[in-house]
Structures are given as C-alpha cells and as structure tokens.
C-alpha cells in the first residue's frame, strides 16, 4: 500500500521515502532511531536520522498533524521561537494493509534539551526559576504575535542554555490558535492559569520522584511565571505620557525593551495638549538582525549592541522629523549625514584613537541620556558633545593602540603607544557618584 503514502512538505527531502513508514513508530529499528533526551508527551515521539540531520517524529491523527504543520509554518513566518516543521506523512499502512497513524516530522532544535534533562540529579531552585522565567519570555513573545497556546508547560518547551540563563522554544503547537487581531485579556489569562497549573504539577512530579532539592516550594516556582509574565507584558504594552521637554524618557523606554530582547517594530508620537503620548509596538528579532539592518541602511559594520543602539537613534530621528512614512533608506542616509557623521567628525584628531566611531557615538548618546536625566530636560547635542569630549573622552586610554590581552587579573602595567601606563586599578568598580558623572563604569579593556 506504499502508493497511498502522502507526504506534505515545503521542500521534500528524498530521505523521507527511505524511512520505515510501514512500521509502527514504536517498532522502528535502532539503526534508524537517534537516542536523545525527550520530554513528556501524550503522543509517541522518537528521533530519527534524516539525510544527515536529526528530526523528531510524532504519531498523531492526520487532521492534528496537518493542523500543527500549518501552525508551525505560520509561527515561523512571524519569527516566533519554535521548532521548524519538516513534513506530514499520511496514508501510512503496515505490511498487512492496516492503517497506521499519521506522523508530523519536525527538525530537532540543536543544543536544546527538555527541562528534565537540564539537571543531572536534583533540580535546584535557581535552575527552576530560570526555566520558568524563560518560559514567561516565550509566552509573552507568542502572545505578542497573537498566538494562544492552550497547553503551556515545561514539557511542551525546549530550552537552550544562554549565558547563564535559558532560551525557550515552543515544541508542541497542536492546541494553539493564531488570532490576527491579537489576544483578549481573557485568553492571555487562561494561558497563564494553564501554565501555572502545569508547572506546579511538573515540579511536584519531580518532588515525588526525589528529583527536587529539599525546601523547594513547587507552588512558589509556578507562581513565578505570573509575576515574570506581567512584568514583561507591561513593559511591552504600557503607554506613557510625558512632557515635550522630557524626550529622553523615550530613549529610556526603548532601552528597556531592548534589554528584554525586543526590537521596535513601530513607534508613533502623538502630540497632546498636556504633553506627548508614546505608543510602542515591539517585535522579536533574531541574533545579528541589528548588524545586518544597519549595514544595509548605512554601510556601517559594527558590533550587535552598537548596531542596536545606533538603529534606535535612527528610528527616533525618523520619528522626530515626522517622516515615518518616508523611504527607510532615504531617512537612514539623512541620519548618517546629519547626525552620525557630524558627531564623529567633531572628535578632535588627537582623540580619535581612544575609541572606534560607533562606540564614540554610542557613548555620546549615553552621555546625553545621563545629562538629560539629571537636568530633567533634553540637552542639545552640541552641549552634550562638548561635555563628553572634555569630561569623558580625554580621560580614556587609547584603545586603538593598546597591545596585548588585558584581564581583570592583570599583574603588570600595560603601556599605550603614547607612553602612558595603565594603572592596575583601571578595572576596579567606580563608586555610585562616579557612575553618574562618567560613562566609564564598565571601562574594561
């Protein structure tokens, strides 16, 4: 009955035809199966080799497989963190012609693990809290694009290690719904309630199996997703009103969103009789997005965080000059020639070896933010530049001519090309009042 086999895929891998679809998934030979950690699932899921890569195969009904396949495709187009779809296999029959369940094939997310595989013996409270925080970020991102999950849990999530934290990815979308007009407060609250209940049950299950460190409160950990989610959602959606001479608060709001991992997809400024109302619509972007976008728009090739900061200023410039509808490339050229290049050219020639241009511009923006915050009003850029050059840049080391790797455990002084020794305490933290007066509180080589 092989002629009845139906494969749905955006690009069919010939290796799919070589897999033993006429055999129930539970009986697939070990030569085909890849033994990787799996999470809990209501369906049978196994990993297999497919043309040199690993895929996850889940047996389910044809209707559910096709629905989830379509949903994963929609989420991928929205840049939502989720596994990638590969194919739907329908029309399966065994050697006797008896029907077998349909199968959903998804790509294995490299370097990811189910939550149970992220600890060796017992789950510590800090690890549990970081997992819940990562799940809260994922849920906010999904809700932000109008996705109602319906079955939020640690088991339906894959986690990647991320510099001491975790990044979470949706792995099971069969109960999900996508709403183009966004979610209602009730739908978001329902997902949160399901998440809290499922997480509490999963943590208690670990406790019953002796895999939870003593003294851990499963309910307290589960409650953590509520507080984390609400904090993130408020940061993304709250509107604020401020006076026209407090535009520095816009920079503060954008920076807060960036720190949470969100980019600005749209920003509108509406003039009001009593001030200015800011409405920000964030969107999630992938790693390196800012570098690529800045390089495309301006030709500037800088580090990711520098690119993000420069793009924020470009977007604010676009809003300030009321050209939100203009061609992005034209506005970027105007920002480059009217804002970025004048700042860089204003740096005295003898100080240009201190920092690269993108870092100088970033620090000028930071310096403007601090000055504006202290004074409670926006400070003209010319005044900021003078203050930055005289009070900050002149006192920095020449990083362009610094030789040799320097670490926080440096035991010998390093000499710059100008003959100035760098003190052994250059990496020591500054006092709080010093932080307010300069940008060097993280001045590490």
Whole-number Å distance between alpha carbons of 358 and 352: 12
pLDDT at 16 over 80: yes
Name, of 126-140, 392-406, 417-431, the range with top average pLDDT: 126-140
Give residue-wise pLDDT tens across range 313-333: 998 888 877 665 677 888 899
Task: Decide if 112 contacts 26 (C-beta within 8 A).
Answer: no
pLDDT at 120: 55
pLDDT at 398: 63
Residue that wins the pLDDT comparison between 123 and 177: 177
Least-confidence region, from 103-112, 114-123, 271-280: 271-280
For residue 121 the two structure tokens come to 């013996």
* Domains of the chain from N-terminus onward: 2-107 (3.30.200), 112-237 (1.10.510.10), 240-396 (no CATH)
Can you tell me the mean pLDDT for 353-365? 87
Least-confidence region, from 74-83, 91-100, 169-178, 234-243: 234-243
pLDDT at 258 over 60: yes
Task: Decide if 62 contacts 90 (C-beta within 8 A).
Answer: yes
Report the predicted TM-score, pTM, of the whole model to 2 decimal places.
Answer: 0.63
Closest among 427, 430, 428, 429 to 445, alpha carbons compared: 427
Whole-number Å distance between alpha carbons of 285 and 260: 12
Least-confidence region, from 277-281, 332-336, 383-387: 277-281
Whole-number Å distance between alpha carbons of 101 and 60: 6
Q: How far is CA 148 from CA 145, 279, 326, in A?
A: 9, 24, 34
Whole-number Å distance between alpha carbons of 307 and 177: 35
Sheet of strand 262-272, all strands in order from the earlier edge strand to the far edge: 240-242, 275-284, 262-272
pLDDT at 327: 79
Whole-number Å distance between alpha carbons of 283 and 176: 20
Give residue-wise pLDDT tens across range 289-319: 677 888 889 989 887 778 888 998 998 888 8
pLDDT at 193: 96
Can you tell me the mean pLDDT for 222-231? 92
């Amino acid at each position: 009955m092989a002629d009845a086999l139906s494969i749905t895929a955006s690009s069919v891998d010939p290796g799919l035809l070589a897999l033993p679809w006429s055999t129930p998934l539970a009986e697939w030979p070990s030569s085909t199966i890849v033994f990787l950690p799996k999470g809990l699932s209501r369906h049978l899921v196994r990993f297999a080799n497919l043309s040199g890569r690993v895929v996850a195969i889940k047996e389910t009904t044809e209707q559910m497989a096709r629905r989830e396949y379509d949903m994963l495709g929609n989420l991928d187009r929205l840049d939502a963190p989720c596994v990638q779809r590969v194919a739907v296999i329908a029309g399966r029959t065994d050697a006797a012609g008896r029907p077998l369940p349909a199968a959903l094939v998804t790509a294995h997310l490299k370097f990811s693990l189910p939550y149970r595989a992220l600890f060796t013996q017992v789950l510590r409270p800090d690890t549990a809290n970081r997992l819940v925080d990562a799940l809260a970020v994922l849920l906010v991102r999904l809700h932000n694009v109008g996705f109602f999950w319906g079955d939020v849990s640690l088991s339906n999530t894959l986690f990647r290690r991320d510099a001491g934290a975790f990044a979470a990815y949706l792995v099971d979308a069969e109960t999900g719904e996508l709403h183009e007009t966004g979610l209602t407060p009730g739908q978001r609250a329902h997902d949160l309630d399901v998440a809290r209940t499922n997480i509490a049950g999963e943590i208690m299950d670990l406790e019953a199996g002796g895999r939870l460190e003593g003294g851990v409160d499963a309910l307290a950990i589960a409650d953590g997703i509520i507080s984390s989610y609400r904090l993130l959602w408020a940061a993304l959606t709250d509107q604020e009103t401020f006076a026209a001479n407090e535009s520095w608060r816009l920079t503060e709001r954008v920076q807060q969103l960036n720190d949470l991992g969100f980019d600005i997809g749209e920003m509108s400024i509406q003039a009001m009789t009593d001030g200015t109302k800011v409405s920000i619509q964030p969107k999630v972007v992938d790693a390196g997005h800012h570098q690529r976008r800045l390089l495309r728009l301006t030709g500037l090739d800088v580090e990711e965080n520098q690119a993000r900061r420069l793009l924020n200023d470009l977007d604010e410039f676009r809003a300030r000059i009321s050209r939100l509808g203009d061609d992005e490339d034209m506005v970027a050229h105007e920002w480059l020639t009217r804002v970025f290049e004048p700042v860089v050219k204003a740096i005295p020639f003898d100080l240009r070896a201190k920092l690269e241009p993108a870092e100088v511009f970033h620090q000028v923006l930071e310096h403007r933010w601090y000055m504006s915050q202290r004074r409670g009003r926006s400070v003209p850029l010319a005044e900021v530049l003078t203050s930055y050059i005289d009070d900050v840049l002149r006192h920095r080391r020449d990083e362009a001519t610094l030789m040799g790797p320097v670490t926080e455990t440096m035991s010998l002084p390093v000499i710059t090309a100008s003959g100035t020794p760098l003190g052994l305490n250059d990496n020591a933290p500054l006092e709080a009042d010093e932080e307010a007066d300069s940008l060097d509180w993280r001045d590490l080589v």
